[in-house]
């Protein structure tokens, strides 16, 4: 019979032989690149895992084997005063999560150690980190376990005993530390003793860039829109004559996606592409660099494709594609490899022009897919996604061209295409985008599809770039730690807003993540006013939407042709109602109002009173509920200054948010 010692050694040896050293080295390289420029590492564990997490932070603050600058690393379990205070006031499950919310910033790394992967306080910390946009790494025991599933990257030790798991974790920590110092040694040369090293400059004096990093990979062309007006047809035939033409240029293809991403706050963007060495290529590069995009050009030869649209009255009359010499892809630079190895997310925009066919680029993308979210926007003439891609986003037409499905062009037909592509491609999720009908998401061939309708129907809009807008939003959301379903829902909403705002004309607009479009409601009001219609405005907090609110709004809508609701923002409600309000956030309140058939638009304002938005909207009638009866409404003078009227409509007795909250509190207290 083998002794306990020999059994233990054999168990540990087997666990070490199966350790995912490639992933550990990737972690080390990422820490070596990110910590010196302002990111920080937060680490936590329980019991023996706590000791190992603190072992790691001490090695990073001090040194492992080589001299280097100290790195910011915090062991969340080491502050016993904070630990006991949080445990006493908020419960033991929150002892790490609350510290993550206090210390964590987008771009930081949270490393959680747990032999079981099931400790409630560790799982709560992982959820807090994902919510804040941190990269959550897990060092756990045998998979599957909840912590590994919650993390953005995990190393699971397949050992039957806790002791072997923890000992393998110690080896893993040393591998990470060695890789960190190897990376940093590439930029620091120590010529003398430690005492001879120059003093480090204060962190406050360094221009630290803590933004997340998105790498866009794909084919780039030059887009040109020639816009004019048509007053007559040519005598040569039924051909419109365009006059007063003005030509606007912008990067197209993956370049357009990069421009969109660069406008997102908190992100920096690199674009891996192939630009021709011609005037068009130089123009595209200039436009990209002017937008702050880091251009990584891998072209060896060839010219830049140019796509020109001639447009009038919001419609494309003709499109002209200029012939070009196909671009030859050269070697992948070390700078490009570095960007891909440290990105928070990668977006591939394949336009079928050859960049995704490069073996070296495909290998680098596959390595990236093992480390971070990768979104792949495919093309029928392009190559299939690499293994490990998080989300593929073909349009319905592309999905049909890429599959053998022959069903109708409806929900069932699109679902058939998505299922086939999920089986065909080595990807985790497939989303088929369906234009004004939204999108469907398939994650499991045996599961139910997630159908995401577009939030509203946009008729006759310019859809140029809408697919890029959707793919960009999905990539940014996944890179920030959101689930694929959440990312796709946000992407569908953003693509709809993009088309509604005028598509390429709206490139300066940031992704809308909080408040509904003010310009859309104001524009709708102006259209109704120009046609001789009556604009109705109604205002309030609309917290916990109830029948009293609905009655007010239905009565208001019957007074005119368009009802726009002016709604207090979260900050405004808190000032008016107290710190416990609102119960429902402004985004959800606005969505609920917009879902009512009587409401045509919502404006959100941050002030205590709506005078500023009222001055923009200028309604013919301003409506308030019956609780104002007998009192002068503060906005009366303003509304009457342009000839408007202020009216009060009947209020349903006993229907108020305050009374509703009181009843709920009373019910909870009686339990």
Supply 259's token pair. Answer: 């421009």
The beta-strand segments (E) located in 372-422 are 374-377, 389-392
C-alpha–C-alpha distance, residues 489 and 300, integer Å: 39
Would you say 134 and 100 are in contact if contact means Cβ atoms under 8 Å apart? Answer: yes
Q: Which of 223, 462, 468, 600 is catalytic?
A: 468
Would you say 178 and 64 are in contact if contact means Cβ atoms under 8 Å apart? Answer: yes
Would you say 44 and 77 are in contact if contact means Cβ atoms under 8 Å apart? Answer: yes
The Cα-based distances of 659 to 544, 570, 626, 665 in angstroms read 11, 20, 16, 10
Residue 513: is it exposed, middle or buried by C-beta count within 10 angstroms (0-12/13-18/19+)?
A: middle
Token pair 């891998």: residue: 298
Token pair 């995401």: residue: 452
C-alpha–C-alpha distance, residues 540 and 556, integer Å: 13
Contacts of residue 3, Cβ cutoff 8 Å, sequence gap at least 6: none
Supply 503's token pair. Answer: 């598509």
Sheet containing 601-605, strands listed edge to edge, beginning at the edge strand earlier in sequence: 601-605, 562-568, 535-540, 621-625, 645-649
Q: Give the Cβ contact number of residue 198 at 10 Å.
A: 5
**Nearest Cα to 411, choosing from 380, 385, 442, 367?**
442
Q: Give the Cβ contact number of residue 314 at 10 Å.
A: 10
Q: What is the DSSP string of 86-132?
A: HHHHH-GGGTTHHHHHHH--TT-EEEEEESSS--HHHHHHHHHHHHH
Supply 491's token pair. Answer: 């992407």
Length of the chain: 671
C-alpha–C-alpha distance, residues 528 and 367, integer Å: 54
468 catalytic per annotation? yes
Supply 31's token pair. Answer: 């820490």
The Cα-based distances of 375 to 138, 389, 637 in angstroms read 23, 6, 53
Across the strands, what pairs with 312? 228, 315
Show which residues are catalytic: 468
């Amino acid at each position: 019979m083998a002794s306990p010692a020999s059994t233990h050694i054999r168990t540990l040896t087997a666990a070490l032989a199966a350790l995912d050293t490639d992933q550990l080295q990737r972690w080390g390289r990422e820490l070596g690149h990110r910590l010196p420029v302002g990111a920080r590492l937060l680490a936590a564990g329980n019991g023996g895992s706590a000791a190992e997490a603190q072992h790691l932070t001490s090695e990073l603050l001090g040194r492992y084997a080589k001299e280097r600058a100290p790195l910011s690393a915090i062991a969340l379990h080491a502050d016993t005063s904070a630990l006991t205070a949080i445990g006493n006031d908020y419960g033991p499950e929150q002892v790490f999560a609350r510290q993550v919310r206090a210390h964590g910033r987008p771009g930081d790394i949270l490393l959680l150690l747990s032999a079981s992967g099931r400790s409630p306080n560790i799982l709560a910390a992982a959820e807090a980190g994902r919510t804040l946009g941190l990269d959550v790494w897990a060092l756990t025991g045998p998979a599957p376990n909840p912590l590994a599933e919650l993390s953005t990257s995990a190393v699971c030790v397949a050992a039957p005993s806790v002791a072997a798991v923890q000992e393998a974790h110690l080896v893993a920590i040393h591998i990470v530390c060695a890789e960190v110092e190897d990376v940093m040694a590439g930029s620091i040369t120590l010529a003398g003793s430690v005492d001879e090293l120059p003093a480090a400059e204060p962190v406050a004096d360094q221009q630290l860039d803590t933004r997340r990093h998105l790498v866009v990979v794909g084919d780039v062309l030059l887009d040109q829109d020639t816009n004019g007006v048509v007053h007559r047809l040519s005598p040569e035939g039924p051909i419109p004559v365009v006059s007063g033409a003005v030509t606007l240029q912008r990067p197209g293809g993956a370049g357009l996606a990069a421009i969109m991403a660069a406008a997102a706050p908190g992100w920096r963007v690199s674009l891996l592409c192939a630009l021709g060495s011609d005037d068009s290529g130089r123009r595209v590069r200039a436009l990209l660099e002017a937008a702050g995009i880091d251009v990584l050009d891998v072209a060896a030869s060839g010219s830049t494709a140019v796509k020109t649209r001639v447009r009038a009255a919001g419609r494309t009359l003709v499109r002209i594609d200029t012939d070009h010499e196909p671009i030859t892809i050269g070697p992948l630079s070390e700078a490009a490899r570095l960007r891909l190895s440290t990105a928070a997310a990668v977006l591939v925009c394949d336009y079928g022009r050859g960049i995704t066919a490069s073996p070296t680029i495909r290998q680098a993308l596959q390595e990236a897919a093992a480390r971070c979210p990768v979104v792949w926007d495919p093309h029928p003439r392009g190559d299939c996604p690499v293994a490990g891609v998080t989300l593929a986003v073909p349009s319905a037409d592309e999905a049909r061209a890429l599959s053998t499905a022959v069903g109708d062009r409806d929900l069932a037909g699109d679902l058939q295409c998505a299922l086939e592509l999920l089986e065909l491609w080595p990807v985790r999720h497939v989303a088929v985008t369906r234009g004004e009908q939204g999108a469907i998401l398939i994650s499991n061939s045996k599961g139910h599809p997630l159908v995401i309708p577009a939030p509203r129907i946009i008729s006759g809009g310019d859809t140029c770039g809408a697919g890029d807008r959707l793919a960009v939003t999905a990539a940014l959301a996944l890179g920030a730690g959101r689930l694929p379903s959440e990312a796709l829902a946000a992407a569908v909403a953003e693509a709809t807003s993009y088309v509604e705002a005028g598509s390429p004309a709206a490139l300066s607009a940031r992704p809308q993540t909080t408040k509904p479009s003010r310009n859309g409601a104001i524009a709708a009001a102006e259209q109704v006013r120009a046609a001789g219609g009556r604009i109705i405005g109604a205002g309030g907090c609309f917290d916990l939407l109830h029948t009293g609110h609905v009655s007010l709004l239905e009565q208001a809508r019957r007074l005119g042709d368009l009802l726009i609701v002016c709604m207090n923002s979260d900050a405004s409600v808190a000032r008016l109602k107290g710190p416990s309000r609102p119960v429902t956030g402004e985004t959800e309140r606005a969505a609920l109002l917009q879902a009512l058939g009587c409401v045509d638009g919502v404006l959100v304002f941050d002030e205590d009173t709506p005078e500023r938005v009222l001055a923009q909207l200028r309604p013919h009638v301003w409506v308030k509920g019956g609780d104002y009866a007998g009192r002068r409404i503060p906005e009366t003078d303003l509304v009457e200054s342009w000839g408007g009227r202020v009216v009060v409509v009947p209020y349903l007795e006993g229907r108020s948010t305050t009374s509703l909250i009181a009843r709920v509190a009373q019910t909870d207290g009686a339990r």
